[in-house]
Amino acid sequence: MDLLRFITAGSVDDGKSTLIGRLLYDSKSILADQMEAIERASKSRDDGEIDLALLTDGLRSEREQGITIDVAYRYFQTTKRKFIIVDAPGHIQYTRNMVTGASNCQLAVVLVDARHGVVEQTRRHSLIASMLGIPHLVVAINKMDLVDYSQDVFSNICIHYNELAQKLDVGEVTYIPLSALNGDNVVEKSANMPWYEGEPLLSYLETVELDHDENLTDARFPVQYVIRPQTAELHDYRGYAGKITSGIFRKGDSVTVLPTGETSTIDAIEMAETHFDEAFAPMSVVLHLADDVDVSRGNLIVKSESLPIVSQNVEAMLCWMDSKPLKAGNKYTLQHGTFRTRCAVRDIVYQLNVNTYEEKEDVESLKLNDIARIVLKTAKPVSFDPYDKNRVNGGAILIDETSNVTVGALMLQKEAV
Amino acid sequence: MSTYKLDYLDQLESEAIHIMREVAGQFERPALLFSGGKDSITLVHLALKAFRPGKFPFPLVHIDTGHNFQEALDFRDWLAESLGEKLIVRYVEDTIREKKLKEPTGRNASRNALQTFTLLDTIEEFEFDACIGGARRDEEKARAKERVFSVRDEFGSWDPKLQRPELWNIYNGKIHKGENVRVFPISNWTELDVWNYIKRENIALPSIYFAHERELILRDGKLLATAKGVIQTEETDQLVTRKVRFRTVGDISCTAAVESDADTLEAAIAEIQATRISERGETRIDDQVSEAAMEDRKKGGYF
Ligand SMILES: Nc1nc2c(ncn2[C@@H]2O[C@H](COP(=O)(O)OP(=O)(O)O)[C@@H](O)[C@H]2O)c(=O)[nH]1
């Protein structure tokens, strides 16, 4: 059975919590005692109705304010697939939380209220999904019960959204009309919308093709740790522990260690003393090289036939995640996989308006949740792939050198001139 | 269909191994918090996959409440011994004595809260900068929002509002002196995933996970293990003998048994699959006190 991680995004009150609650409830993933806790909590509210949304509200401050602040993870499974729901808050103030949640997802469900159609939030959520390279996107047009299950309303929203999608580099888009509250087209096909020929949301999630999402062409292996038992019988044992982030490695492959550029061949691939002839992403393994080259944590082992970009000047899209502003000239630590180096911001090329997608130049500084294209100069060369070709080897973070906090998400694009 | 595809258990396994190796790569003095329960036994198995043929780059650390099941303690000692890995045990009993702490008394009193003191002392004693734990996000609502690398201040406190963004598979373990990080490699596993993995990998477990005859206290419809000095008997308690197993192996005073005939792993998994009550609700007595019980404990430095 395979695993699908998907993120849900919507404005406050679009019905995201209700939808997730409905998916869990109708797929029988809510256990009896959790249901009881919800019933108890529903009673202490004014209306007294059972509120499926309560299933997903985690932290006390959130429960009190009735909104989702941080990313929460939910788990359910059907006979066809296992799912991890990444429940991210929708408000602009929490853009960084959505970016965090989206980074690992293969699919995004963007909620739209049928009464309001495509709004500013929809545009921002779609931009984030596209920027983070999520390959599949579902536009879930919710509250169809409040627009008389009208096909016209649905079609108009699809046309409107499609215009927006043209401007973005979004993957495959699927439109589903639903009512999370009543369960139409969530798990069961809706009798209220016979004009809709597609599948309900859950069947789509169960069957969407994921095979082509993994990059199997560019073999990349960031070294995490060197295993050296140094015992009498394993005196010369030296294994490089890590996780293959993309591609396939085979015994005998010619490889290059970056950024040093030393070359060797793969002598053995193992995991807990079981040997393999080949291994592929996202497996965690131990690699052995034929030659005595200098390899340590932070190095990237790649197949020599497809080398990444190796450069100290990097152009990237950035989501800024700190309340202290980012300015040109500021210095940070950059972490790319297991590799860390100091870096300085050379230039803010433009800031992207997350609602209109306009590019604004001559920007002095970036605030929390701003998105921009920037150029970085690094102390040591970074070995990366363009983000749209390789999400893992194209992603990096910025760390504040005094607070140690993660302050920026970088989608690396190309070598800067 | 492409053959270059990992089953979900392999994906979860690889993710967990990657997280453990990040701990080894980023920290000077990590530790693996070992409770003797199935989740931490699974962590030990994952550590074998991550680091063999090398030694673990961390000791196993057990905070013994003094209220543990003997079966779990025996298993713990056997496991550390047979793997040749270092085991450190610190006792809540000692903390109570040294700090002259007041033990909670009364109904369903547990040492869960006191455990936090011993844990923090142990972290200080060994200057641990990272502690690996077996918590899962599906266990409870506050955990559902916690990061894999959860940074704690000197008091071990978790601030849910100040969590670091965690992107792709990049973990930022940079901390100041005095801070430490709690790391949860099996964050994304469900209870059933853990059981299926234990079965697939043929991982040994303490006997109390399987159905056995036992003398128990029947209280408020829950079955509690009898234990001298740990559980005060009450007038309304009934002493009964039943065939039971335990779904979690926590503190005896707050871990209830479930009636069961499942004496094999297959049978236990089948029961878990069929059950409509979640793990914490069924067997942990301490979480039901308030909706926000876990969140409050975590803010106070609990795991
Ligand atoms: N009529 C109708 N109301 C809905 C639907 N989905 C959600 N709601 C209501 O919209 C309100 C907000 O829903 P909630 O799930 O809390 O929204 P969230 O803020 O996006 O998580 C609640 O009162 C829900 O009952 C729907 O499909 N139809």
List all residues whose CB is within 6 A of at least one atom of ligand 1: A 10, 12-18, 53, 142-143, 145-146, 179-181
Tell me what pLDDT residue B108 has: 55
In ligand 1, which atom is closest to the CA atom of A56? 21
* Ligand 1 atom nearest residue A182's Cα: 27
Residue nearest to atom 5 of ligand 1 (CA): A181
**Residue ranges making up the domain that contains A273:** 220-303
Q: Which CATH number describes the domain made up of B8-194+292-299?
A: 3.40.50.620
User: Do A57 and A195 fall within a single domain?
Assistant: yes
- Report the separation in Å between the CA atom of A87 and the middle of ligand 1, taken as the mean of its atom positions: 15
Mutation test residue for ligand 1: of A7, A52, A181, A185, the one with most atoms within 8 Å of CB = A181
User: DSSP string spanning chain B?
Assistant: --S----HHHHHHHHHHHHHHHHHHH-SSEEEE--SSHHHHHHHHHHHHHHTTSPPSS-EEEEE-S---HHHHHHHHHHHHHHT--EEEEEHHHHHHHHTPPPP-STT--SHHHHHHHHHHHHHHHT-SEEE----GGG-TTGGG--SEEEE-TT----GGGPPP--TT-------TT-EEEE-TTTT--HHHHHHHHHHHT----GGGS-EEEEEEEETTEEEE--TTTS---TT-EEEEEEEEES----GGGBEEEE----SHHHHHHHHHH--S-HHHHHBSGGGS-TTHHHHHHHTT--
Q: Do A399 and B169 touch (CB under 8 A)?
A: no
Choose the final residue of a domain: A303, A320, A351: A303
Chain B contact probe: residue of A1, A35, A73, A84 with most B CBs at under 10 A: A73
Number of domains comprising chain A: 3
Residues of chain B with C-beta less than 8 angstroms from the C-beta of A209: none
pLDDT at B220: 77
The mean predicted confidence, pLDDT, of chain B is 82
**Cα A245 to ligand 1 centre (Å):** 39
Nearest alpha-carbon partner for B60 in B155, B77, B49, B69: B77
d(CA B132, CA B147): 13
C-beta atoms of A100 and B291 within 8 A: no
In CATH, what number is assigned to the domain containing residue A349?
A: 2.40.30.10
Summarize pLDDT for A97-133 with one digit per residue, the tens.
889 999 999 999 999 999 999 998 899 899 999 999 9
pLDDT at site B261: 87
Contact state of B277 with A31 under an 8 Å Cβ cutoff = yes
Between the CA of A21 and the centroid of ligand 1 the distance, in Å, is 11
Query: What was the pLDDT predicted at A335?
Result: 98
B278 with A33: Cβ contact below 8 A: yes
**Residue A50, pLDDT score:** 60
Alpha carbons B253 and A88: distance in angstroms, whole number: 37
pLDDT at res. A301: 98
Between B8 and B36, residue with greater pLDDT: B8
Same domain, A240 and A282: yes
Task: State yes or no: ipTM above 0.95.
Answer: no
Using a CB-CB cut-off of 8 Å, the residues of chain B touching A248 are 4
pTM for this structure?
Answer: 0.89
Instruction: Identify the sign of the CA torsion B194, B200, B203, B204.
Output: positive
Nearest CA in chain B to A101: B167
Which residues of chain A fall short of a pLDDT of 50?
A: 58-60, 67
Comparing CB atoms, the residue among A225, A282, A335 nearest residue B170 is A335
Domain boundary assignment for chain B: 8-194+292-299, 207-286
State the Cα–Cα distance between residues B292 and A60, nearest whole angstrom.
Answer: 6
Atom of ligand 1 nearest to the CA of A18: 15
On whether both A16 and A151 belong to a single domain, the answer is yes
Domain final residue pick, A212, A230, A262: A212
pLDDT at residue A18, as a whole number: 86
pLDDT at position A59 is 46
Same domain, A247 and A340: no
pLDDT digits (tens, 9 = 90+) for A47-82: 555 666 666 554 445 555 554 567 888 888 888 999
Question: What CATH number has the domain bearing residue A101?
Answer: 3.40.50.300
B285 pLDDT higher than 60 = no
Of the given ranges (A100-114, A303-317, B149-163, B284-298), which has the lowest mean pLDDT? B284-298
Residue B199 pLDDT class (50, 70, 90 cuts): very high
Interface test with A, best of B48, B170, B298 (most A CBs within 10 A): B170
